[in-house]
């Protein structure tokens, strides 16, 4: 297998493919690990419900585990649905002899509400599996079940974490997905250290089936690849957050994250660069556009699907400029990370309007405001006077803050297709047109250009 880390998942099978073994293997594969599996139970399951559970004998589950370990050098493992006390008793002694990191995800209830751990197995889980865990990853309901502490605030999380640590794991990660907050905060508490928050933006989606499985499998993959615990958790969080942003409904219930999201991003790169290069040729071929550009450097940018940083937004390294002879020059071949101001503006609006994928900077010279109004372009304006002290005025930070604030406060953000910046000392007034793709951006530019010529 070359350099692939070998990651073992010990969990139940989800016939709907969104959680359990299926989710684990997808996450392990996407993070470039090799996944092996021990199946503890078969579930008849879809996005709405679990209609039945059939478990193999504890002896056979142990035989699966023993057979894998006898032949494959496992680099890390995770457990998920262990279902019954006999299964836990059968595998715990084998895992007690391991030489690799173990993540224990104490799965008790499916996203649909179905119980995945028998009542008699709760005490066995805590007594036999928790002491084996290098990391224990309960969600809030599971934390409350095992500690009898009602989680209402951060202090309750810390109290519960210490109780869990007293049960034997080396570290605990209490997942905050069930909390009511703007961000998702997972609290990492090592046995001999202080609590540490790991935060990600909360994604407004119903596609949360299998998120715990995905996160624990991703953490185990990182540990198997030699990552330090904190780094493994952070990467796993980022992977899950991306998968949630990419998720689309699968059935009538809560669907799963899209485990293929990193692959979708990667394979989109050549097409984004190709289409942006063609758009640049179109700009350079129309010298009539020169008066619409700012006096300084402008740029045209296009984002990858689910882009969340500047390095995932392509632009022209030398920008788009109006020449002294009245032409338009596009400098350089498009590359990712080549733009700052336009890219950060686009990323800001994408937090509320993920359908917007590209932007083009124009000047706010004579007649432009009238042209934009005549073209029916709905604009949000950056209010520089409201800039908080913590927001810097360089490197696009103000543009990012102002674009997000303006769109968030707009009564109909779905109608907005431009961000205006009135400028200030050292900053030229500009407007950035926004569109879902470069063809739509071209059409919007043509409409504005026609109105500008008639103004």
Q: Whole-angstrom Cα distance, residue 448 to residue 432?
A: 12
Active site residues: 175, 208, 210-213
**Which of helix, strand or coil describes residue 303?**
strand
Q: Whole-angstrom Cα distance, residue 327 to residue 52?
A: 69
Using the CB atoms, write b or e for 244-272: b if 16+ within 10 Å: bbbbeebeebbbbbbbebbeebeebeeeb
Tell me the chain's radius of gyration from C-alpha atoms: 26
**Which of helix, strand or coil describes residue 417?**
strand
Q: Are β-strands 135-136 and 102-104 bridged in parallel, bridged antiparallel, or unpaired? A: parallel
CA angle 446, 447, 451 (to 5 degrees): 115
Q: Are β-strands 196-201 and 300-303 bridged in parallel, bridged antiparallel, or unpaired? A: unpaired
CB 396 within 8 Å of CB 402: no
Residue with tokens 């350089």: 332
CB 178 within 8 Å of CB 141: yes
Residue with tokens 């400029």: 321
The helix (H) or strand (E) run that includes residue 67 is: helix 58-71
**Which of helix, strand or coil describes residue 392?**
coil
**Which of helix, strand or coil describes residue 240?**
helix
CB 215 within 8 Å of CB 175: yes
């Amino acid at each position: 297998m070359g350099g692939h880390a070998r990651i073992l998942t010990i969990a139940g099978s989800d016939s709907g493919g969104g959680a359990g073994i299926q989710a684990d293997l997808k996450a392990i594969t996407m993070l470039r690990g090799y996944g092996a599996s021990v199946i503890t139970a078969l579930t008849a399951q879809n996005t709405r419900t679990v209609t039945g559970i059939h478990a193999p004998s504890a002896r056979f589950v142990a035989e699966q585990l023993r057979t894998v370990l006898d032949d494959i050098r496992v680099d890390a493992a995770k457990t998920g649905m262990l279902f019954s006390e006999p299964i836990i008793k059968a595998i715990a002694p084998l895992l007690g002899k391991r030489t690799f990191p173990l993540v224990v995800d104490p799965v008790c209830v499916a996203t649909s509400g179905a119980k995945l751990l028998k009542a008699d197995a709760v005490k066995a889980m805590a007594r036999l599996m928790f002491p084996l865990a290098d990391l224990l990853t309960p969600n809030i309901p599971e934390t409350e079940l095992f500690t009898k502490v009602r989680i209402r605030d951060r202090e309750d999380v810390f109290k519960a974490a210490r109780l869990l640590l007293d049960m034997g794991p080396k570290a605990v990660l209490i997942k905050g997905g069930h909390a009511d907050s703007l961000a998702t905060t997972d609290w990492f508490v090592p046995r001999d250290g202080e609590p540490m928050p790991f935060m990600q933006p909360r994604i407004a989606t119903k596609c949360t089936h299998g998120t715990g499985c995905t996160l624990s499998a991703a953490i185990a993959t990182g540990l198997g690849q030699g990552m330090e615990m904190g780094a493994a958790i952070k990467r796993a969080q980022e992977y899950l957050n991306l998968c949630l942003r990419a998720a689309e409904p699968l059935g009538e219930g809560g669907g799963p994250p899209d485990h293929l999201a990193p692959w979708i991003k990667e394979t989109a790169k050549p097409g984004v660069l190709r289409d942006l290069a063609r758009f640049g040729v179109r700009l350079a071929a129309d010298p009539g556009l020169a008066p619409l550009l700012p006096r300084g450097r402008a740029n045209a940018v296009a984002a990858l699907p689910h882009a969340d940083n500047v390095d995932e937004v392509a632009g022209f390294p030398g920008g788009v400029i109006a020449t002294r002879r009245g032409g338009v020059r596009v400098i350089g071949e498009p590359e990712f990370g080549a733009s700052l101001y336009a890219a950060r503006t686009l990323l800001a609006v994408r937090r509320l309007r993920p359908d917007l994928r590209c932007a083009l900077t124009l000047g706010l010279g004579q007649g432009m405001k009238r042209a934009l109004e005549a073209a029916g372009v709905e604009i949000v304006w950056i209010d520089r006077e409201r800039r908080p002290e913590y927001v810097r005025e360089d490197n696009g930070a103000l543009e990012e803050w102002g674009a997000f604030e303006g769109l968030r406060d707009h009564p109909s953000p779905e109608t907005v297709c431009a961000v205006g910046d009135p400028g200030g000392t050292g900053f030229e007034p500009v407007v950035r047109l926004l569109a879902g793709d470069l063809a739509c951006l071209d059409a919007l530019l043509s409409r504005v250009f026609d109105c500008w010529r008639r103004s």
